Structure 1
Amino acid sequence: MLNYILLVFVPIALLLELMHAPGVWIFVASALALLPLASLMGRATEELAARTGSTVGGLLNATFGNAAELIIAGVALAAGKLEVVKASITGSILSNLLLVLGLSILLGGLRFNTQRFNANSANIMATLLALSMVAFLLPAFFDLAERTYFRVDPTLPDLDFSHAAAIVLVLVYLANIWFSLRTHRDLVSGRDEAHPEDHPATWSVPVSIGVLASATAGVAVMAEFLVGSLEAATSVLGLSEFFVGIILIPLVGNAAEHFAAIGFAIKNKMDLAVQIAIGSALQIALLVAPLLILLGWIIGQPMNLVFQNPLELAALAASIIATNAVVRDGETNWLEGFLLLGVYVLLGFAFFFTPR
């Protein structure tokens, strides 16, 4: 119900943009409008997945799971906000692994003493995340070596290396999809997935496609407004664009999945909660990030995988290490969730106090 109420901010944002209202108003209205639109994209994708069978449905969920974040980041990329794009990549991974997984484990653990899930599936995803960290670390060290050891301008080599890394990451993602949906489906499926009839489709295929197309168009328009008003809004609010990119944009773009994961955890369906949280972070690392690199290549924006702020790399490493420690045994309690949230809050303060 709240999603439908928030849809009122779509025309409000349009009206404010047409009236050339102060940027902070447009920013807030478009951010609130993105919440229900992203939720509708997710709902339409789930409805189509329920209508098209397990394999095709799995591909749909894998493809469109983070479409809203991709659109928002793509609009920022086209506007030349490269550091905001990189920050949103980092922030999306952090929010899924620390905030969403932490809240899911905490709230589920307060209701159920110990919650169990498929450790095989969680460990495979966590291992892939750890390996993806290599793709984020190597470009930074590559850039450092060029500057300090070879003493050359790293701009073009950084781009070339990032393009190659992006292609490799997409191939790894496709291999993981094939592994999960075809060759080792039984290994990675959880107990909660055994009853698809619990989630029957209620929308027809034409309705689902129409809603998906409309919501996607709405997300694109609201993302334009959000990015266009970003500079004015950050000036008024006293926030850095880095903080907005790493904290606020990920929360707006993925709020629907966040609430879904927490809801499943409260119902003791931890397999689904863990798969949503870690799976979404994995999709950001292996699909969304490389697609943004390749998109920048196509449209002429020098987007690379070099994170100049070492705090981002430290945050990614900390979140992946913490997640691996929590999920390795296939069971959780509320304290583990509280610890993940503590790490997220500490990182949030670090990002907030980062000089503008």
Structure 2
Amino acid sequence: MTAAAVDAPAKADTKTPEPKICDPKTPFMAWAPPLAGLAFVGALKAFGLDGGYDGSMASLVVSIALLPVLFGAVFAAVYHAELIAHRTGEPYGTLVLAMAVTVMEVALLASAMLGADANPALARDTIFAVVMIVGNGLVGLCILLGGLRHREQSFRITGANAYLAVLMPLATLSLVLPNFTVAAPGGAYSPSQLAFAGFATLAIYLAFLYTQTVRNREYFAVVIEGDDVADKAHVPSNRATAISFGFLVASLGVVILLSKTFTATVAVGLDAAGAPATVAGVIVAFLILLPEFSAAVRAARANKLQKSVNLALGSACATIGLTIPAIAIVSLVYGAPLELGLTPKDTVLLFITFAVALLTFGTGRTNILYGMIHLVLFATYIFMVFSP
């Protein structure tokens, strides 16, 4: 092939009009919550009200104001992560979202592990709740809503299988195997076992990241049978991306700084309501996944199920692959107790979720039947949380 032949496509490409790069003004709800959150944190520190609800009127006001401030920071963090993701493109986009969610989750779990009333099972309950919410609730809702609007939807089998191949051993090493070891009592790992489990989960996730972002990026590409690439006419500029990065850091900082107050307040509220302790894990999981929920559902309704799969399964993989090593380090360094093994009931729900997921993502096409099955499994999980 001649040099002229090689250069021909490049010359043709140069005639294609470049997409317009917009630099939209940051919406009020994107910059106000991080700034309000930082001010709220400063006020709590100044008046010594960052310890959670203690029965006083001042702490009651703090508890009431805490949720909107924290939710605002979470939504702002995900908004700016999505903007950065739109700039970087897939698969890096979903990776940015997963990292932001994981940082918030680790902050909340670490605060609960190191608090005065430590909850050694909160990490297990939260990670399992994430797997159930994502693997059944989010996946089922996306497939059902997408199927109702588009009848059938397509996705890449290779990408879905890669997610499941990572998620199943990660969940088993973290949530099931501790029940069958004898070095530590109950569903816990010994220090050496915990260190190895943290290293093993991180190694699997890093290998997955290499596959997702370098080696086999095409497995996770959003373009598939009618799915469109993100609208290139609205790609944010470098300036807008830099501003969003600053607000993303501020939003994550607010979540980290308020995590201790939040977990302490949740513990007091559940105790007063007489709710099972495992509900705390569900609340934390819903808090960090709620914004991602909306992004995945919007993608499914827009006939971009591949993006929904990337968001849903990617967040579950990141939750285990990054959270387990992080909390393992916290447990080993500070001597915080950590209980990881699931109950037999939850183990059954985990395995049936994986079995159904293999069938759901095994053909490359979905319909409302699969969505309904996953939603029924999710409803079963929620029911069993309140009626174990």
TM bucket (normalised to shorter chain) is 0.7 to 0.9
Give, in angstroms, the shift of residue 200 of structure 1: 1.4
User: How far 1:206 moved relative to its partner?
Assistant: 3.6
| Residue of structure 2 in register with 1:190 after alignment | 222
The 8 Å contact of residues 3 and 35 in structure 1, kept in 2 or not, is answered as no
Task: Identify which range, 270-279 or 22-31, moves more after superposition.
Answer: 22-31
| Structure 2 length-normalised TM | 0.78
Deviations 1:315-352 (A, max 9, x none): 32222222222111111112211111111111111110
Q: Quote the offset at 1:2 in angstroms.
A: 11
Alpha-carbon distance between aligned partners in 2 of 1:71 and 1:157, rounded to the nearest angstrom: 22
- 2:298 maps to which residue? 263
Would you say 1:324 and 2:363 are equivalent positions?
A: no
Structure 2: any 5+ residue segments left out of the alignment? 1-26
How far did 1:51 drift? 4.4
Contact persistence 1:122–1:274 (CA under 8 A): yes
Paired position in structure 1 for 2:177: 138
Distance 1:84 1:156 in 2: 13
**Uncovered stretches (5+) of structure 1, i.e. residues with no partner:** 148-152
Q: 1:138 to 1:50 in 2, by over 3 A?
A: same
Cα drift, residue 237 of structure 1: 2.4
The one-character-per-residue Cα deviations of 1:183-203 (angstroms, maximum 9, x if unpaired) are 111233231574462651266
Aligned to 1:150: none
**Superposed displacement of residue 210, structure 1:** 2.0
C-alpha distance in 2, partners of 1:260/1:155?
Answer: 35
- Structure 2 residue aligned with 1:211, among 247, 251, 258? 247
1:114 aligns with 152
Aligned position for 1:352: 386
Task: Please tell me whether the aligned partners of residues 199 and 325 of structure 2 are also in contact (alpha carbons under 8 angstroms).
Answer: yes
Cα distance change of structure 1 residues 50 and 177 upon mapping to structure 2, 3 Å threshold: same
> Higher helix proportion, which one?
1
Give secondary structure in 1 for the equivalent of 2:278: helix
Partner of 1:333: 367
Which residue identity does 2:129 align to in structure 1?
A: G
State the shift of 1:137 in Å: 2.1
Secondary structure of 2:121 counterpart: helix
User: Deviation digits for residues 66-102 of structure 1, max 9, x if unmatched?
Assistant: 3222221222122222112210111111111111111
Q: Give the structure-1-normalised TM-score.
A: 0.85
User: Separation in 1 of the partners of 2:233 and 2:295?
Assistant: 15
- How far, CA to CA, are the matches of 2:189 and 2:106 in structure 1? 25
Query: In the alignment, what sits opposite 2:204?
Result: 172
Distance 1:85 1:34 in 2: 20
How many Å apart are 1:229 and its aligned residue?
A: 1.4
Asked whether the 8 Å contact 2:187–2:339 carries over to 1, the reply is no
| Alignment CA distance shift 1:12-1:56 (3 Å) | closer
CA contact (8 A) 1:26 1:229 kept: no
Q: Which residue of 2 aligns with 1:301?
A: 336
Q: Distance in 2 between matches of 1:161 and 1:174?
A: 20
Contact between 1:6 and 1:32, CA under 8 Å: does it hold in 2? Answer: no
Given that residues 6 and 35 in structure 1 are in contact (C-alpha distance below 8 angstroms), is that contact kept between their aligned partners in structure 2? no
Q: What CA deviation, in whole Å up to 9, does each residue of 1:224-261 have, x standing for no partner?
A: 2211212320123231221221x222111110001110
Deviation string 1:164-185 (CA, Å, 9 cap, x unpaired) is: 0110110110111011111111
| 2:220–2:310 Cα contact (<8 Å) kept | no
Q: Per the alignment, do residues 32 and 86 of structure 1 end up closer, same or farther by CA in structure 2, a change over 3 Å counting?
A: farther
Count of aligned residue pairs for this structure pair: 345
Q: Percent identity?
A: 20
Alpha-carbon deviation of 1:47?
2.9
In 2, distance between residues paired with 1:53 and 1:261? 16
Q: Aligned letter for 1:277?
A: A
Q: CA 1:25 to 1:82, structure 2 compared with 1: closer, same or farther past 3 Å? A: farther
Matched, 1:102 2:134: no
Q: Tell whether 2:277 aligns with 1:241.
A: yes
| 1:121 CA displacement | 0.4
Partner of 1:276: 311
| Offset of residue 27 of structure 1 | 5.0
Q: 8 Å contact 1:23–1:230 — kept in the other structure?
A: no
Give SS of 1:66's match. helix
1:49/1:107 CA distance change after superposition, 3 Å: closer
Which of the pair has more CA radius of gyration?
2
Deviations 1:31-80 (A, max 9, x none): 44332312222222233344457686665445334322222122212222
Q: CA separation of 1:227/1:133 partners in 2, compared to 1, >3 Å: closer, same or farther?
A: closer
Which stretch of the first structure deviates more once superposed, 68-77 or 29-38? Answer: 29-38
- Return 105-114 or 23-32, whichever deviates more: 23-32
**Alignment counterpart, residue 231 of structure 1, candidates 249, 255, 267:** 267
Measure the CA separation in 2 of the matches of 1:353 and 1:219.
31
**Aligned partners of 1:234, 1:53: CA distance in 2, in Å?**
41
